[in-house]
Amino acid sequence: MWKNIYLWLDERIGFNDFYKNLLDRPEPKTSWWNTLGSASMFLFVLQGLTGIFLTVYYTPSPDHAYDSVNYIMEGVAFGWLIRGIHHWGATLMVILVFVHMLRVFYTASFKYPRELTWLIGIGLFLTTLGMGFTGYLLPWNQKAFWATTVGTQIAGTAPYIGEFILKALRGGPDLSALTLQRFFSAHIWIIPAILAALIGVHLFLIIKHGESHWPKKED
Amino acid sequence: MNDETKKQINERYERELDKGERFWPDTIFKDVVMSLGIFLLLILLATFVGVPAEPKADPSDTSYIPRPEWYFLFLFKFLALYGQLPVIGKIEWLATVLIPGIAVAVLTLIPFIEKSPHRHYSKRVLPIAIMTIMVVGIVLLTLMSEIPTVSEDGSALLGMLQTISGIFIPLAAYILLFAFKNNTRLMLWTTGLAAASMILVSGTVLTLAPEKEAEETSVATTLPDQIVAGQDLYSIHCTECHGDDGSVAVIEGVEGLEGEKITPINSRDVLYTITDSAMNEVIAYGRPNAGMPPFGKTYGGELTKSEIDYIIIFMRYLWDDRFEAPVIKPLFPPLADGEVPSYDVHIQPIVKRYCISCHRAGKDNNNYLMTTYEEILTTGDQAANNVIAGDEKSYLLQTIQGQSIMNPEKPDEELIGVMPPTKALKPDVVDVFVRWVMNGMPQTAAEAAALFATPAPTPTP
Ligand code: HEM
């Protein structure tokens, strides 16, 4: 019976095409350095899953954010593990994305025909930092509050438009409930959506061009 | 790049593919191993390192030293060092906006700046050298981020060394690299020497820097911990007027408020009518007209938001009959026969609960401060007599047992009243003080354990 279901689905979806186009591709000899990109992607997915779990209990308001995070740590079964993974995953993701970028630079993999992959990659790097920046405020503790205060202040030193940036980031002259609301929405909707879209294009380009080979003397 | 080169590159790639592997299963296999390894690492980090608890955000606590996430620390450090430069150091936006902006722009445009089709590192020494110095600089700035630019004794040496390794050496190296653009050997030497000297200078800074003592921020996260923390804070700040159980209806012994009639704050009148957020306001802002001072940092008091929350939690769970208190650890572990108490385990929590409200700076207490072990033994107008090892006539022991001390010169004048002045300590608490002083005031649990009177071994026949 399973076979019949498989055949029926295959007829309509065409698993073979997927296999041929996505999996059964030739690659140059790859090294462990080539795993950093997919590892970054794995972390993105993991951050998404653990993050969704966290939003079940998290409340983005100055009165409740701190207590809700505390509740996740103390009251929810395995809440500490989920938050721990999300917390360390964020740090590790920044490191991995950065090292991945360095690897691409040192092996000159950004050269023809992969220039666009690099440009998208810069977008990925900046949005990853954006995830970190917005996520850091959410626990609404001292560290978070003051880190965001200085972070937005630095953005506010830009000539002419600084004041505008500062107010746009904070939702007013000071950090407030509005800032938290804004950062929350950026952290769980806006930036992940951009990140997911960019990863999609990044992967499409990688599959299209194949991974670059390790540069040899003749290159 | 002309079509000929492009064709060559593509043909070259085809040849590599022929010698290569299959995406499935060869490439995927490594990816999966790597991801699983990372997953394991994360579980270990979450389990054994965890997420450190932090106090709640407190916008009024301007004494808190703000620090960004660790991966922005290098930028923060760069700003601090840049601010030390003469003249241009004053133009802030150069360092906050322009330089990072240029860096990101260059990074983005790398494929269009480095246009040569060559990929092997021997043919791209200049870009690799520039990037390497940049990365070394970023790592070193991150490592040095905690070190102040001006030391406590006012010396700017550390700041100067940091500026040298974080700004001047890389800058000089970049200038040299462009000067030696056509000489691979000189470029390699420049990079090597620059990186080595940056590491050397930063290493010096790191070893010279004063050891930073890890500041201890105790954060209560579980309910019992929060209740205990609240009770300690309440004992220190509020007992004076409201009594240790909130039952005071007429204030006694407080200057300016003597005989003032107040509503007992452990009564339903107060607990049922004042919500948590209103309570927060009462404590933070005080009742200036009635004589209660403000306690919140926002209004010039000493308590942070978290601390006020703890006090309210304590009041709710111990006094408000709508709340059921969880099991709370005793203030100190009960003593066995012959066991000697220590400062760390027994005396400190007791003193915090019963004595510090008066015996800290700024209160009327004959200059007897009790906030640390040393203070208890060495301060006070009668420092010589307060705590004497093995002497039951120590003033401390006498006063807590209801004996006031008379002035030896004028026998009818009281020198020290009974302690604590308003409510006698429970016998088990007094017993702890007595055993502690009689056994020579051990500080740590280990020192106390060494004094534990071990029963004499029965002689074996
Ligand atoms: C969320 C962040 C990112 C994800 C999920 C990601 C994902 C990937 C994956 C799966 C690959 C193929 C495997 C590999 O070579 O490692 C790849 C390759 C590549 N990535 Fe990324 N990447 C990210 C960030 C970046 C950044 C920041 C850059 C550079 C600015 C970049 C530039 C490239 C380039 C040029 C390639 C092609 C390398 C080659 O063909 O050898 N990526 N990326």
What digits encode the pLDDT tens for the residues B137-151? 999 999 998 888 877
| Residue in B9, B19, B57 nearest the CB of A144 | B57
Instruction: Tell if the CB–CB gap between A219 and B68 is shorter than 8 Å.
Output: no
> What is the reported pLDDT for A181?
95
Nearest residue by C-alpha to atom 8 in ligand 1: A37
> What is the reported pLDDT for B353?
84
Distance set, CA B251 to CA A162, B39, B271, B312 (Å): 54, 61, 19, 21
Please tell me if the CB atom of residue A199 comes closer than 6 angstroms to any atom of ligand 1: yes
> What is the reported pLDDT for B458?
53
> What is the reported pLDDT for B454?
57
Residue A216 to chain B, least CA–CA distance (Å): 6
Q: Which residue of A has its CA nearest to B224?
A: A74
Nearest residue by C-alpha to atom 13 in ligand 1: A37
> What is the reported pLDDT for B47?
94
- Per the structure block, which two tokens stand in for B178? 């462009």
Find the length of chain A. Answer: 219
SS (H, E, C) chain B: CCHHHHHHHHHHHHHHHHCCEEHHHHHHHHHHHHHHHHHHHHHHHHHHHCCCCCCECCCCCCCCCCCCCHHHHHHHHHHHHHCCCCCHHHCHHHHHHHHHHHHHHHHHHHHHHCCCCCCCHHHCHHHHHHHHHHHHHHHHHHHHHHCCCCCCCCCCHHHHHHHHHHHHHHHHHHHHHHHCCCCHHHHHHHHHHHHHHHHHHHHHHHHHCCCCCCCCCCCCCCHHHHHHHHHHHHHHHCHHHHCCCCCCCECCCCCCCCCCECCCCCCHHHHHHCCHHHHHHHHHHCECCCCECCCEHHHCCCECHHHHHHHHHHHHHHHCCCCCCCCCCCCCCCCCCCCCCCHHHHHHHHHHHHCCCCCCCCCCCCCCCCCCHHHHHHCCCCHHHHCCCCCCCCHHHHHHCCCCEECCCCCCCEEECCCCCCCCCCHHHHHHHHHHHHCCCCCCHHHHHHHCCCCCCCCCC
DSSP one-letter code for A161: T
> What is the reported pLDDT for B455?
52
Is residue B34 within 8 A of residue A39, CB to CB? The reply is: yes
Please tell me if the CB atom of residue A110 comes closer than 6 angstroms to any atom of ligand 1: yes
Q: What is the ipTM of this complex?
A: 0.93
Residue A173's SS3 state is coil
- Whole-number Å distance, alpha carbon A115 to ligand 1 midpoint, is 11
Which atom of ligand 1 is least distant from the CA of A211?
Answer: 40
> What is the reported pLDDT for B214?
56
Which atom of ligand 1 is least distant from the CA of A210?
Answer: 40
Nearest to B423 by CA among B232, B237, B252, B231: B252
Residues of chain B with pLDDT below 70 are 212-218, 453-461
> What is the reported pLDDT for B407?
82
> What is the reported pLDDT for B217?
58
Amino acid at A97: V
| Residue in A27, A39, A62 nearest the CB of B27 | A27
Instruction: Tell if the CB–CB gap between A142 and B55 is shorter than 8 Å.
Output: yes
Q: Best of A88, A125, A126, A178 to disrupt the B interface by mutation (most B CBs within 10 Å)?
A: A88
Task: Write out the H or E segment, with its range, that includes residue A26.
Answer: strand A26-27
Residue written as token pair 């950065």:
A98
C-alpha A7/C-alpha A201 separation (Å) is 31
Which option is the CATH number for B223-319: 1.10.10.60, 3.80.10.10, 1.10.760.10, 3.30.230.10?
1.10.760.10
Give B-chain residues touching A96 at CB under 8 angstroms. 38
Rounded average pLDDT per 10-residue block, chain A, 219 residues: 89 82 83 94 97 95 92 91 96 96 95 94 96 95 91 87 90 91 96 97 94 89
Ligand 1 pocket, mutate which of A31, A206, A211, A219 (most atoms under 8 A from CB): A206
Nearest to A195 by CA among A47, A28, A15: A47
Instruction: Tell if the CB–CB gap between A150 and B67 is shorter than 8 Å.
Output: yes
Other CB atoms within 10 A of residue B397 CB:
21
- Whole-number Å distance, alpha carbon A100 to ligand 1 midpoint, is 6
Instruction: Tell if the CB–CB gap between B67 and A146 is shorter than 8 Å.
Output: yes
C-alpha B18/C-alpha A209 separation (Å) is 15
Q: How many residue pairs bridge chain A and chain B with CB atoms within 8 Å of each other?
A: 223
Give A-chain residues touching B31 at CB under 8 angstroms. 35, 38-39, 42
Please tell me if the CB atom of residue A152 comes closer than 6 angstroms to any atom of ligand 1: no
| Residue in B21, B120, B127 nearest the CB of A30 | B21
Distance set, CA B459 to CA A149, B317, B338, B454, B456 (Å): 71, 54, 21, 14, 9
Please tell me if the CB atom of residue A176 comes closer than 6 angstroms to any atom of ligand 1: no
Q: Best of A154, A160, A187, A208 to disrupt the B interface by mutation (most B CBs within 10 Å)?
A: A154
Environment class of residue A202 by beta-carbon count within 10 Å: exposed (0-12), middle (13-18) or buried (19+)?
buried
Nearest to A155 by CA among A146, A167, A171, A143: A167
Sign, CA dihedral B320-B325-B328-B334, equals positive
Which atom of ligand 1 is least distant from the CA of A40?
Answer: 5
| Residue in B9, B57, B118 nearest the CB of A142 | B57
C-alpha B315/C-alpha B243 separation (Å) is 13
| Residue in B35, B120, B128 nearest the CB of A216 | B120
Domain-wise residue ranges, chain B: 1-44, 68-210, 223-319, 343-451
